Amino acid sequence: MRRLSALAVLSFLVFGAGSGFASSSFQGLGTLDPTNPYSIATGVSGNGSLVVGQSRGSDGLLHSFTYQAGSGMQSIGLPELPPQHERSLSFEGVQAWGVSDDGSTIVGSHRWHDPTPTYGEHGFSYDIATDTWTHRDGVDWGVRFHATSADGALAVGEQYFQNSEPYPLVMGAPIIPLQGYVGFGLALDVSADGSVIVGSTGHYDDWIERPYRYDAINGLVVASLAGEALGVSADGSTVVGFADGNAFRWTDADGLVPLAGLPGGSGSGRAEDTSRDGSVIVGSAHDGTSNVAFIWDADNGMRSLLELLELEGIDMTGWELVEASQVSANGLTVVGYGNNPAGETEAFVATIPEPGTAVLLGLGLVGLAARRRLIAGAPHID
């Protein structure tokens, strides 16, 4: 009886206290215009409440959108053009590539034509609360911003010149030079306080892009493998990306370490983003058939996001999740895109339990099974 009671207590602790854990969920975000069914999610705020991305509007152009559970998908509109400027013939719309941790600022790029004749992409920073656009014009072919610091004060990206490769660009006050930078490259993400910048850089002697990590103390630290650093944790301690075709995790303690791939997969993959402390990583990897969205943590390794959601009891019939693009600071909200049951590209947001929750759930199931065996073997009392 004493052992039986202990198992009953264990089961209660896991299942009865389960209401305190974050429940899993999945939501396709739809599209701005049902006649132009296309959307991708490219960013999420630190607490997971605001999602940003791109979707086609009724005008056929790409619009940057915000998504919140209470208001759904909303276009942020198109910016007013400076005097004497006009939409270029190849104007594709407004592309959001990132959002600040506090959810106040969206960064990205769009195109216009300047008769002077500057032409190409133009970086922007958009303040959601005030509906204010701030532009960074390209010197020759344009600017694209990929990410922003936690408060939206600093944006990182790339500057293009005609007939040449891009170089990293940091928009703040003042513009920050990347000491030791030579050649070409991109700035693809930045830590919460703006002190750590990551991306890719290369030299004109071999034209191979390699991941880098930059801060004012250590300068530019470049990995030896070909690839890109795509994301950095908010605290700047963990860099993720891909090198020689494999997703990686890069820290001072362990160096650049490839992530073991999905079971049955080819090992190829891209780590797109990581949580505040670097403990959760998301991206896309090959499962032996196609590229699928993955989630990684040290306890469970790399797992298919779709399969994890199915194990959590969510009906994913007809969905194919292609890429997990961003994860919230707490590691519990993942955004990206996939193919919906109609075969259309659609943005999604998913919430998942903390990694430790799955361990507790497994202990509860073991305890429940043992309890059932004990009951089955106990003498029956009428």
Cis peptide before 117 (omega within 30 of 0): yes
pLDDT tens digit sequence for 69-111: 989 999 999 877 655 455 554 456 789 999 999 999 999 988 6
d(CA 365, CA 3): 16
Digit-coded pLDDT (tens) for 160-170? 654 445 556 67
Tell whether the model's pLDDT for residue 174 goes beyond 80. no
Average pLDDT over residues 306-326: 97
C-alpha 57/C-alpha 60 separation (Å) is: 5
At 347-376, the pLDDT tens digits run: 999 999 876 555 444 444 334 334 333 333
Enter the DSSP assignment of 88: -
Q: What is the pLDDT of residue 22?
A: 53
Amino acid letter, residue 300: N
> Is there a contact between 133 and 112 (Cβ–Cβ < 8 Å)?
no
Residue 89: burial class (beta carbons within 10 Å; 0-12, 13-18, 19+): exposed
Return the structure tokens found at 142: 């344009």
SS3 at position 368: helix
- State residue 227's pLDDT score: 95
Confidence of residue 17 (pLDDT cuts 50, 70, 90): very low
Cα separation of 102 and 152, whole Å? 8
pLDDT, position 43: 97
Tokens encoding 354: 């903390």
Q: What is the pLDDT of residues 181-225, one digit of tens each?
A: 667 788 899 999 999 999 998 877 788 899 999 998 888 899 999
CA proximity to 199, closest of 170, 171, 234: 170
Q: Can you give the pLDDT at residue 6?
A: 36
For residues 238-251, average pLDDT: 96
Q: Please, what is the average pLDDT of the chain?
A: 81
- Residue 350: per-residue pLDDT: 98
CA–CA gap between residue 228 and residue 250 (Å, rounded): 12
* CATH T-level fold of 28-44+53-320+337-355: Neuraminidase (2.120.10)
CA distances from 281 to 49, 159, 271, 288 (A): 19, 28, 7, 20
On the question of pLDDT at 2 being above 60, the answer is no
Range with the poorest average pLDDT among 110-124, 214-228, 255-269, 313-327: 110-124
Q: What is the pLDDT of residue 189?
A: 95
